Amino acid sequence: MSERFPRPRAVRLGRTLALVAVLCAPPFYLDAFWLRIGLFSMAAAVGAVGLGLLSGTAGQLSLGHAFFLAVGAYGYVWLAGEPGPGLPTALAAVLAVLLAGAAGGLFSPVAGRVRGIYLGVATLALVFLGNHVLLTADSVTGGFNGRSVAPLEIGGFSFSSESELTVLGVPFAAEERLWYLGLALFALTWFTARGLLRGRPGRALAALRDSETAAAVMGVDVARHRSAAFVVSSMYAGLAGVMLALAFRRVVPDYFGLVLSVDYLAMIVIGGLGSVAGATAGAVFVTALPLLMTRYADQLPLVAAPGSTDGGVGPTEAARYLYGALIVLVLLFAPDGLHGLVRRARARLRERRGGSPPTDTTPRHDPPRPAVRAKEPTP
Amino acid sequence: MTTLIDNVFNGLALGAVYALVALGFVIIFKASGVMNFAHGSLLLLGGYLTAVLHDAIGFAAALALSVLVTAAVAGAMDRFLLQAGGGADPHTAAVQTIVTIGVDIVILTDLSRRIGGDLLSLGDPWGDSVSGLGPVTVADSRIAAIAVSTAVIAGVFALFRYTSWGLSLRASAEDVEAAALMGVRLVRVRTLAWCLAGALAALAAVFLAAFPAPGLERTTGQIALKAFPAAILGGMSSPPGALAGSLLIGLTEALVAGYQSELTLLGEGFGSVAPYAVMVLVLLVRPTGLFGAKAAIRV
């Protein structure tokens, strides 16, 4: 957003450095519970950015994101583990991401032909068929009980608690180390996705979303861009899958169900469709909120102690109620998501400061059209 | 041969019940462009109400009441939560779809808490009785499922075809602006569609929990997910398509489950995911379902 108000370079640099410092600080101050929330949020953010690209920008509704996450997670576990080829873990992680991309590519005969809600439900089939494979292909996936995840090792440095490491008097266990890995991968996602969206491919995808006919007339190769969006989005999902596997240390088929797909859809809509920052905010909202509320729900009024049998509302349930209600409330008062909420708050703040109302000369992202759409508009 | 007839009959009964759910799903989509993720919760709500009320007021009255209440809940959800934000936002339908997820979480959490690990009986009059039908014996509840579903679905089609509400619904699904200009009250038409879908879901719950199923459990609502491929197979915009799709899904599931032993290559429990495989194959050939209207693109 800094380009809207050009500031001196030094100020911008200072801001960036401050942000980096804030993001790097938590492992020194927070305990493992908070760090794990951070790890899950970062992984979810990477996945949500990928889905945002596909459903928010390109307008292709996908309920199959959990499947591609599973391909990434299980791909890594199998490639790096025993039984499996037992490759070096860093190589396995890269290959797992490519594998997820390939899975997205294999789906492109469907993705290229099927549109709107039909595509949404066709991708839903991926989740169920994928789950069936995860449960039955025991030798690769470990069946119902899943498999444990080999910790990542890059150049002899292991992202696990095995070797001891102390930085500035703070013992660095797996969570602390994975935090920085997560930050690096998230930064990679952030910059590549923004680059894609602001460049030629992003404009082509947005054109496809708004009208395929018009885009084709302008020289956008419709089928190629539609499947490319699917492949790229699947690769982000695969990366998120690898990050999740590393954070969980064990992958089980149950996790990669429809609920997960729906959660990702909720992330991008709650955050605000079509923006990378929005997808990130939505991912943190959807990931961190249930965990936090489950942890602190017993301090809410009217909540019974866990394990009591008098039919009262337990902490887990209270957390679910609140979470469901919050989704409804956020979207009721901010249909354009958290991203829109922040944008409007900023504009109001600026007005109050007496500045002129924002005269946008920079191209702002258009509010995206729905991913769920009944038909092509016929003007 | 008997196995085949058995399986086919099972499939038809299953398909008839899916049709009730899928039809509601399609009606909602036609009227509002929203994918209703709370459909499973509405179904569970209907079943739960029937289960707790039937002891006090009898099965028929309990069913009637639960159908009414579920319809009212669905209508209220549409009117006060989905339509409250106004329709000006360009991605309204996507946002409203996510709102249904929030509603689903709240209803499902509450019902799960109440049902717990129990299996609730709905007190339906068929119990576990069976009848001989030629060479096979079938559960009476299955026969009832087919009969009631057929009658109700025919009734819904009649509503579409012969009432002014049905005409309004079809008109607004065709072109919202034109319908509004012709004096169709979009808000009311839409809310009524949601009510109807809720009622159908509550009715379907009865047959999903009846013999040979063990009863109503908190996971019964997940069956609504089977209605997604059913609705898509037939084509989202076509209610008769939803019916045909549902029967196809029911038959596929029953046949694959029935001949499980000969299909071991596909893994255990393939029956429950076979509908999705069939759906993907159909969509490859016909991207808008078997009966779906091909959207005309004019420039």
Q: Are the beta carbons of A269 and B95 separated by less than 8 Å?
A: yes
For residue A110, give how far its alpha carbon lies from the nearest alpha carbon of chain B (Å).
6
For residue A310, give how far its alpha carbon lies from the nearest alpha carbon of chain B (Å).
12
Residue A13 forms part of a structural domain? no
Distance CA A282, CA A338 (A): 7
Q: Which helix (H) or strand (E) holds A147?
A: strand A147-148
From chain A, the residues in CB contact with B106 under 8 A are: 320-321, 324-325, 328
pLDDT surpassing 50 at residue B69: yes
In b/e form, how buried is each residue of A243-272, taking b as 16+ CB within 10 angstroms? bbbbbbeebbbebbbbebbbbbbbbbbbbb
Mutate to test the interface with A, among B270, B276, B285, B290 (most CBs of A within 10 A): B276
Per-residue confidence (pLDDT) for residue A306, from 0 to 100: 54
Residue A142 forms part of a structural domain? yes
pLDDT surpassing 70 at residue B265: no
Q: Are the beta carbons of B33 and A372 separated by less than 8 Å?
A: yes
Q: Are the beta carbons of B34 and A372 separated by less than 8 Å?
A: yes
Per-residue confidence (pLDDT) for residue B254, from 0 to 100: 80
From chain A, the residues in CB contact with B267 under 8 A are: 132-133, 135-137
> Mean pLDDT highest for which of A199-203, B102-106, B288-292?
B102-106
Q: Answer whether B63's CB lies under 8 Å from B51's CB.
A: no
Nearest to A331 among B95, B229, B237 (CB): B95
Mean pLDDT of B257-276: 71
Distance CA B5, CA A369 (A): 49
Per residue in A252-300, pLDDT (tens digit) is: 888 888 888 888 888 888 887 777 888 888 888 888 887 887 777 667 6
Residue A269 forms part of a structural domain? no
pTM of the model: 0.80
Q: Which residue of B has its CA nearest to A126?
A: B276
Q: Which amino acid is at A278?
A: G
A259: Cβ contacts below 8 Å, ≥ 6 apart? none
pLDDT tier at B298, thresholds 50, 70, 90: low
For residue A151, give how far its alpha carbon lies from the nearest alpha carbon of chain B (Å).
31
Q: Which amino acid is at A148?
A: S
Q: Are the beta carbons of A113 and B287 separated by less than 8 Å?
A: yes
Q: Are the beta carbons of A370 and B110 separated by less than 8 Å?
A: no
For residue B199, give how far its alpha carbon lies from the nearest alpha carbon of chain A (Å).
23
For residue B135, give how far its alpha carbon lies from the nearest alpha carbon of chain A (Å).
35
From chain A, the residues in CB contact with B263 under 8 A are: none
Nearest to B232 among A118, A132, A323 (CB): A118
Q: Which residue of B has its CA nearest to A368?
A: B91
Per-residue confidence (pLDDT) for residue B70, from 0 to 100: 92
Q: Are the beta carbons of A324 and B103 separated by less than 8 Å?
A: yes
Q: Within an 8 Å CB–CB cutoff, is residue B95 touching chain A? A: yes
Q: Are the beta carbons of B102 and A325 separated by less than 8 Å?
A: yes
From chain A, the residues in CB contact with B283 under 8 A are: 110, 113-114, 118, 122
Nearest to B297 among A269, A369, A376 (CB): A376
Q: Answer whether A43's CB lies under 8 Å from A240's CB.
A: yes
Nearest to B273 among A114, A128, A269 (CB): A128
- Whole domain around residue A44: which residue ranges? 22-256
B20 vs A314, residue with greater confidence: B20
For residue B289, give how far its alpha carbon lies from the nearest alpha carbon of chain A (Å).
8
Per-residue confidence (pLDDT) for residue A33, from 0 to 100: 79
Tokens of A285: 């909202």
Q: Among B101, B231, B247, B110, which Cα is nearest to A269's?
A: B101
- Measured from the Cβ of residue B253, the count of other Cβ atoms closer than 10 Å reads 24
Q: Within an 8 Å CB–CB cutoff, is residue B279 touching chain A? A: yes
Q: Answer whether B9's CB lies under 8 Å from B136's CB.
A: yes
From chain A, the residues in CB contact with B27 under 8 A are: none
For residue B104, give how far its alpha carbon lies from the nearest alpha carbon of chain A (Å).
8
Q: Are the beta carbons of B295 and A129 separated by less than 8 Å?
A: no
For residue B140, give how far its alpha carbon lies from the nearest alpha carbon of chain A (Å).
31
Q: Are the beta carbons of B102 and A327 separated by less than 8 Å?
A: yes
**In chain A, how many domains are there?**
1
Q: Are the beta carbons of B91 and A367 separated by less than 8 Å?
A: yes
Q: Are the beta carbons of A321 and B289 separated by less than 8 Å?
A: no
Nearest to B98 among A212, A331, A375 (CB): A331
For residue A120, give how far its alpha carbon lies from the nearest alpha carbon of chain B (Å).
10
Q: Are the beta carbons of B98 and A336 separated by less than 8 Å?
A: no
Tokens of B154: 């025919």
Q: Within an 8 Å CB–CB cutoff, is residue B110 touching chain A? A: yes
pLDDT tier at B88, thresholds 50, 70, 90: very low
Per-residue confidence (pLDDT) for residue A304, from 0 to 100: 60
Contacts 24+ apart (CB under 8 A), A41-44: A41/A283, A41/A284, A41/A287, A41/A288, A42/A182, A42/A183, A42/A185, A42/A186, A42/A243, A43/A182, A43/A240, A43/A243, A43/A244, A43/A247, A44/A240, A44/A263, A44/A264, A44/A267, A44/A283, A44/A284, A44/A286, A44/A287
Residue A298 forms part of a structural domain? no
From chain B, the residues in CB contact with A368 under 8 A are: 90-91
Mean pLDDT of B125-136: 72
Nearest to A336 among B89, B236, B295 (CB): B89
For residue A220, give how far its alpha carbon lies from the nearest alpha carbon of chain B (Å).
17
Q: Which helix (H) or strand (E) holds A158?
A: strand A157-158
Q: Answer whether A372's CB lies under 8 Å from A117's CB.
A: yes
Q: Which amino acid is at A234?
A: S
Which DSSP state fits A61?
A: -
Identify the segments of chain A with pLDDT beneath 70: 1-7, 155-156, 161-167, 169-172, 297-298, 300-313, 354-379
Q: Within an 8 Å CB–CB cutoff, is residue B52 touching chain A? A: no
From chain A, the residues in CB contact with B110 under 8 A are: 317, 321
Q: Write the ipTM.
A: 0.79
Q: Are the beta carbons of B280 and A136 separated by less than 8 Å?
A: no
From chain B, the residues in CB contact with A136 under 8 A are: 267-269
Nearest to A136 among B33, B109, B267 (CB): B267
If you count DSSP H runs as helices and E runs as strands, how many of each does chain A have, helices first? 16, 6
Q: Are the beta carbons of A265 and B276 separated by less than 8 Å?
A: no
Classify residue B129 by burial, with Cβ atoms within 10 Å: 0-12, 13-18, 19+: exposed
Q: Within an 8 Å CB–CB cutoff, is residue B116 touching chain A? A: no
